[in-house]
């Protein structure tokens, strides 16, 4: 050991490399290496003989839907001779939260494909977060999709993404809970058509159970639970949410005010605070679906979507339940529902838009949508697939056959996310009986319109 040290020192002496210089050099090299690693452009690793171009696909989905996405990606990769798609799962977040994508685009590290809630596409397009892909999607292809789904990915005359799936809202009812409360569930059979909102509330109150302190241990119907959103009531009452001629949002449409007045009164009649005490803990992000009110028989009725069929199958396979049309404000009116869904977009900064659209066309085209519909029970956006009986069970065919053809969609606006959040804030004030509907909706209009004005 001593010998080595002595030789080392000799070497340092011989080459006039002092210990200080060696340390300085080492520190400098370290910094240079760190700098090089930090600022070097990121490229896909080169693999000898690799012919395919890699495409990065980001999604915030979790299993079981993520597993289906991966399955479709694998099939695409197997048949594509030009591209290989790599799936990256993002941490789940609110659908209006674009943190990862904004920082990636701004940082010059965009993915090639991004899984985006469709109602936010117009807003993200208007702000320069996604690329138009009109040149890759010809008219014939566009015509094969449900018109409202295509409308949601269209902004300013351009196509900004392709629709993957869709959904529809309906009224679910727990047959066991109704029977236990002495209520005949046959009144809610689909064949009888929709009941009125008032009748729903009347029956629901018969199924509610409260203790001596007024705390609910079962609620017949929580007027704002799950998918009973502001839009749900607005469409039911026939409200318009956007005045295109005047470039104005219209959450204060008289029919919307009327709808929200019903929610206000319904909550007041059930004790708004007691209902909120039941519902609030179930609204936190990540609340386990197996503890949801419907599958645990905690409620008699709930407004939710087609995906609930899978949750029942998974968490309460023996539960007896029914699905019917959303109620109507007055007997004789037509039931109205609305649809959302997801899309695939090409973020700004991706240098391989053509490749990305090649994958998107597969994923959102018939091959991908067939697998996705069969495995996840979500509804397809390709019109011809909505009438293909091989893709549906008896329960899910109701959504495709009865609800989708007349379903509504939220207006695709450059401030769509802001509009949703402002209406949600107003909605909370209404169902908690903290503000009168007209006043709360006027505030939502004022706040949203201020942001919309720059795009008018």
Which residues, 6 or more positions from 242, have their beta carbon under 8 angstroms from its beta carbon?
248, 249, 250, 411, 413
Binding status of residue 94 toward other proteins by CB under 8 A:
yes
Assigned token pair, 54: 């890699």
Total residues found in the chain within this entry: 456
In the list 36, 37, 91, 284, the residue contacting other proteins (rule: CB under 8 A) is 284
Q: Quote the strand ranges of 65-143, DSSP E.
A: 83-89, 113-117
**Smallest gap from residue 145 Cβ to other proteins (A):** 27
Contact 73, 85 (CB under 8 A): yes
**Smallest gap from residue 102 Cβ to other proteins (A):** 5
**Smallest gap from residue 46 Cβ to other proteins (A):** 30
Binding status of residue 432 toward other proteins by CB under 8 A:
yes
284, with CB counted inside 10 A (0-12, 13-18, 19+), is: exposed
Q: Quote the strand ranges of 112-210, DSSP E.
A: 113-117, 154-155, 158-159, 161-163, 165-166, 169-174, 209-210
**Smallest gap from residue 78 Cβ to other proteins (A):** 35
φ, ψ dihedrals at 316, nearest 5°: -145, 65
**Smallest gap from residue 53 Cβ to other proteins (A):** 25
In the list 31, 44, 67, 206, the residue contacting other proteins (rule: CB under 8 A) is 31
Assigned token pair, 225: 């639970």
CA distance 137 to 143: 10
Contact 423, 251 (CB under 8 A): yes
**Smallest gap from residue 192 Cβ to other proteins (A):** 33
Binding status of residue 451 toward other proteins by CB under 8 A:
yes
Q: Interface residues for other proteins in 134-193 (CB under 8 A)?
A: none
Q: Interface residues for other proteins in 212-241 (CB under 8 A)?
A: 213-217
**Residue 102: how many other CB atoms lie within 10 Å:** 14
Which range in 178-186, 260-268, 332-340, 416-424 contacts other proteins by CB under 8 A? 416-424
Sheet containing strand 321-324, strands side by side: 209-210, 216-221, 299-305, 169-174, 321-324
In the list 261, 310, 425, 436, the residue contacting other proteins (rule: CB under 8 A) is 425
- Which of residues 98 and 337 has its CB atom nearest to other proteins in the complex? 98
Binding status of residue 302 toward other proteins by CB under 8 A:
no
- Which of residues 33 and 331 has its CB atom nearest to other proteins in the complex? 33
19, with CB counted inside 10 A (0-12, 13-18, 19+), is: exposed
Q: Quote the strand ranges of 198-243, DSSP E.
A: 209-210, 216-221, 242-243
Binding status of residue 102 toward other proteins by CB under 8 A:
yes
Q: Is 183 helix (H, G, I), strand (E, B) or coil?
A: coil
**Which among 348, 321, 302 is positioned nearest to 200, based on CA atoms?**
302
Binding status of residue 125 toward other proteins by CB under 8 A:
no
In the list 113, 129, 239, 403, the residue contacting other proteins (rule: CB under 8 A) is 129
- Which of residues 87 and 129 has its CB atom nearest to other proteins in the complex? 129
Binding status of residue 263 toward other proteins by CB under 8 A:
no
Q: How many of the chain's residues bind other proteins (CB under 8 A)?
A: 47
Binding status of residue 261 toward other proteins by CB under 8 A:
no
**Smallest gap from residue 456 Cβ to other proteins (A):** 16
Element (H, E) at 311: helix 308-315
Residues that bind other proteins (CB under 8 A): 20, 23-24, 27-28, 31, 34, 94, 96-99, 102, 105-106, 123, 127-129, 213-217, 273, 276-281, 283-285, 348, 417-418, 421, 424-425, 428-429, 432, 434-435, 447, 451
């Amino acid at each position: 050991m001593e010998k080595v040290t002595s030789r080392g020192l000799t070497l340092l002496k011989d080459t006039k490399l002092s210990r200080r210089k060696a340390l300085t050099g080492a520190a400098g090299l370290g910094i240079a290496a760190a700098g090089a690693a930090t600022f070097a452009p990121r490229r896909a690793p080169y693999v000898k003989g690799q012919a395919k171009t890699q495409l990065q696909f980001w999604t915030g989905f979790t299993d079981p839907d993520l597993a289906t996405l991966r399955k479709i990606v694998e099939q695409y990769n197997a048949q594509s001779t030009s591209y290989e798609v790599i799936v990256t799962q993002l941490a789940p977040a609110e659908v209006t939260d674009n943190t990862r994508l904004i920082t990636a685009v701004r940082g010059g590290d965009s993915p090639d494909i991004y899984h985006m809630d469709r109602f936010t596409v117009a807003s993200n397009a208007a702000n320069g977060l996604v690329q138009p892909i009109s040149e890759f999607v010809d008219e014939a292809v566009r015509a094969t999709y449900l018109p409202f789904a295509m409308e949601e990915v269209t902004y300013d005359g351009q196509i900004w993404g392709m629709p993957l799936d869709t959904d529809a809202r309906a009224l679910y009812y727990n047959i066991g809970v109704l029977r236990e409360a002495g209520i005949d569930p046959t009144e809610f059979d689909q064949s009888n058509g929709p009941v009125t909102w008032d009748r729903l509330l009347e029956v629901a109150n018969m199924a509610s159970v409260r203790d001596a302190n007024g705390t609910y241990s079962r609620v017949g119907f929580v007027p704002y639970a799950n998918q009973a959103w502001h839009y749900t009531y607005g469409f039911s009452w026939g409200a318009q949410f956007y005045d295109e001629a005047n470039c104005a949002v219209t959450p204060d449409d008289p029919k919307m005010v009327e709808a929200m007045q019903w929610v206000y009164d319904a909550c007041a009649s059930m004790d708004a605070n007691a209902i909120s005490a039941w519902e609030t803990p179930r609204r936190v992000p990540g609340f386990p679906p197996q503890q949801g009110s419907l599958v645990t028989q905690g409620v008699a009725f709930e407004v939710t979507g087609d995906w609930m069929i899978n949750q029942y199958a998974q968490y309460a396979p023996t539960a007896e339940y029914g699905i019917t049309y959303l109620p109507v404000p007055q007997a004789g009116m037509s039931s109205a529902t609305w649809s959302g869904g997801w899309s695939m977009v090409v973020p700004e900064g991706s240098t391989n838009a053509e490749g990305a659209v090649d994958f998107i066309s597969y994923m959102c085209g018939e091959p991908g949508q067939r697998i996705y519909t069969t495995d996840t029970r979500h509804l397809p956006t390709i019109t011809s697939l909505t009438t293909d009986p091989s893709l549906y069970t008896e329960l899910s065919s109701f959504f495709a056959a009865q609800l989708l053809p007349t379903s509504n969609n939220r207006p695709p606006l450059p401030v769509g996310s802001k509009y949703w959040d402002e209406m949600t804030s107003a909605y909370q004030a209404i169902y908690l009986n903290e503000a009168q509907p007209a006043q709360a909706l006027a505030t939502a209009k004022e706040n949203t319109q201020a942001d919309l004005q720059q795009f008018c």
